[in-house]
Amino acid sequence: METILDRFLRYVAIDTQSNEESESQPSEAKELDLLRLLRDELLAMGVKAELDEYGYVMASIPSNIDKKVPAVGFIAHVDTAPDASGKDVKPQIIKNYDGSPIALKGVGGLYLDPADFPELLAHKGETIITTDGTTLLGADDKAGVAEIMDAVQYIVAHPEFRHGDIRIGFTPDEEIGRGVVKFDVQRFGADFAYTMDGGEAGELEFENFNAASAVVKIQGRNVHPGYAKGKMLNSIHIAHELMDLLPVEQRPEFTSGYEGFFHLVGFKGTVEESQLTWIIRDHDRAKFEEKKRVMMRCCQFIDDKYGKGTATPTLKDQYYNMREMVEPHYHIIEKAEKAMRLAGVEPHIQPIRGGTDGANLSFKGLPCPNIFAGGLNFHGKMEWVPLESMQKASAVILNIIKLFTE
């Protein structure tokens, strides 16, 4: 039987970075490299599995008990974030971590330091997996993928393990907000599901941000700088003015808990034309809608000042807070809490300051809270995951399946 560590290391070696500029599904063909591998590994274990035209792997393990119990699903995404490279990942494995700064040896002078990341100290004595500082690690969400596959391996190897119908799903493009746009919930066949896509061990989440993207094009007017007085409109300066109109205290670096934000994630520009990209987030739907109105009012102010068509905003909703869809089925949260305690993990229910495939799945009719996968510092070169957290997550999956048979 393959260890969860070996499995995880194999998965992160495959570049699966999604591409928000692409219109295809999956957004990058290289995501299919891991999706095909997962399908084939499931088939090799004797599990019925298929990969469809949209890049979804769906697998099923039939019940081995007499009574009817709900079919439960477990879902993880294979893509890594566009924020940092996922190519040629070189993990570092630090056994029996002693609490000191960890050198990320691919970049001279770069350390994963408890002074900056004190949560490291909660994992002294454990095996820590980090990047080498040149790429992200991919624990988001290949840790979740490995945990699900580890649990499947256990179930297949232990026919005495009692379970109802189990559904497994692997998706592309979660990191760009399109993970389950074409996911067929009916074909998946689960009554309830869990995404294995959270952070620190113990995290259990059924609230997430309402989310939208905002792309604003700024049209300037270029004139030779020697003769520009009273004529030039420098779109870069106008874009900067638009940024300053939005509330500074509502940037992500100044918010926490249930507080939402405007996050500027992209800028490109010349004197003639610039483009800015924000993501807009809030747990409260009314505040979320007000943030979108604020963005529109700021763009209108720029238009009024510099002329119609100067600022052209395009706002697009991405997903909504799953709480209203999950809370009526609160027993699935209670089962996850109990499953964690059985695995020696104290559950910590908190809102997600982000989103998961589970949000959109919940609105498609599949209540789908989120469980920890164990990783921290997602989307960048400081990403890391404790091996023991992945092992506990796999145990939580098995415990949830047991609890659904009771």
Query: Catalytic positions, please?
Result: 79, 174
Beta bridge partners of 275: 217, 268
- Number of neighbours of residue 24 by Cβ within 10 angstroms: 11
What whole-number distance in Å separates Cα of residue 198 and Cα of residue 371?
Answer: 5
Q: Which tokens in the block code for residue 93? A: 């494995």
What whole-number distance in Å separates Cα of residue 388 and Cα of residue 374?
Answer: 8
What whole-number distance in Å separates Cα of residue 292 and Cα of residue 64?
Answer: 50
